[in-house]
């Protein structure tokens, strides 16, 4: 798995497995499948109410903790310094780990700077390896960095072929913050001008989508992939996606079928 270097020299995988609607035993098995396929970045959040499932899956996988990269997020109920501090301890317990690789403020709350003080303390104490934010647009980001001593390592935002947010990416780059995308596969949404086409074959199917940027740029813009995907053909289907060896295809494995999503530049 390819990696990139964050602004504090921490190495982070360029593709991760998102768990926002992972639940129960089936969710744990999806995480185990992702790990078996080579994923090493697993993303969760207190809002998702499934950190404990990630923790159990990581333990059951038998993969050494230092080979994994765990991301989680603190949200609205923990928007003071003290509450954020206790929230970090809660996440450490739920994930059954001594440290979190990347800790994010889930949304741009008014008290985000106060929460960030608890994040910085956890960073200094070795409980967190990197800290950042999520869902901050350009104005919210600029306002936030004016008040923080440590520039966020990551800003995780919606970014995909229909909404790449290249201007925001350029702004973040200028400060040394890595943009990380959620909904990289559009959560199954389509665009009238550039629809996804499902072409059944046996035993596989192919999704094709034309995009406005090259495959290399798409991996730079969208280094993170939420792969519990909501396609039009399924209400909710757990899937695992990974890059092919040539880097041009994304293979998406479902419990009962396999989809090959190939990206083409215009």
Residues serving a catalytic function are 48
Comparing CA positions, the residue from 15, 79, 82, 27 lying closest to residue 52 is 27
Comparing CA positions, the residue from 101, 96, 23 lying closest to residue 55 is 96
d(CA 158, CA 222): 9
| In 77-196, beta strands by DSSP E | 102-105, 131-134, 154-158, 178-182
Q: CA 32: distance to chain centroid?
A: 17
Q: Are 117 and 83 in contact (CB under 8 A)?
A: no
Could you write out the DSSP letters of every residue in 42-109? EE--GGGT-HHHHHHHHHHH---GGG-EEEEEE-GGG-SHHHHHHHHHHHHHHHT-S-BSEEEESS--
d(CA 233, CA 237): 9
Q: Are 221 and 159 in contact (CB under 8 A)?
A: yes
Comparing CA positions, the residue from 209, 215, 202, 144 lying closest to residue 177 is 144
């Amino acid at each position: 798995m390819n990696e990139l270097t964050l602004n504090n020299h921490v190495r982070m995988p360029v593709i991760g497995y998102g768990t926002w609607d992972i639940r129960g035993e089936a969710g744990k098995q999806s995480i185990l499948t992702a790990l078996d396929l080579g994923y090493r970045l697993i993303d969760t959040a207190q809002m998702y109410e499934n950190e404990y499932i990630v923790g159990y899956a990581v333990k059951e996988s038998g993969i050494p903790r230092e080979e994994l990269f765990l991301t989680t997020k603190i949200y609205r109920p923990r928007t003071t310094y003290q509450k954020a501090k206790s929230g970090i301890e809660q996440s450490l317990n739920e994930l059954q780990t001594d440290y979190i690789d990347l800790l994010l403020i889930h949304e741009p709350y008014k008290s985000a700077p106060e929460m960030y003080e608890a994040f910085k303390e956890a960073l200094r104490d070795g409980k967190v390896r990197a800290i950042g934010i999520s869902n901050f647009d350009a104005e919210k980001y600029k306002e936030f960095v004016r008040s923080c001593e440590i520039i966020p390592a990551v800003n995780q935002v919606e970014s995909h072929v229909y909404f790449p947010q290249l201007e925001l990416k350029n702004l973040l780059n200028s400060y040394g913050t890595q943009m990380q995308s959620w909904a990289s596969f559009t959560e199954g949404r389509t665009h009238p001008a550039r629809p996804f086409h499902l072409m059944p074959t046996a035993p596989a199917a192919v999704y094709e989508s034309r995009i406005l940027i090259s495959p290399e740029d798409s991996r730079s813009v969208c280094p993170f992939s939420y792969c519990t995907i909501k396609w039009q053909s399924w209400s909710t289907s757990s899937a695992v996606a990974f890059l092919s060896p040539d880097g041009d295809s994304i293979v998406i494995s479902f419990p009962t079928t396999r989809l090959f999503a190939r990206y083409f530049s215009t």
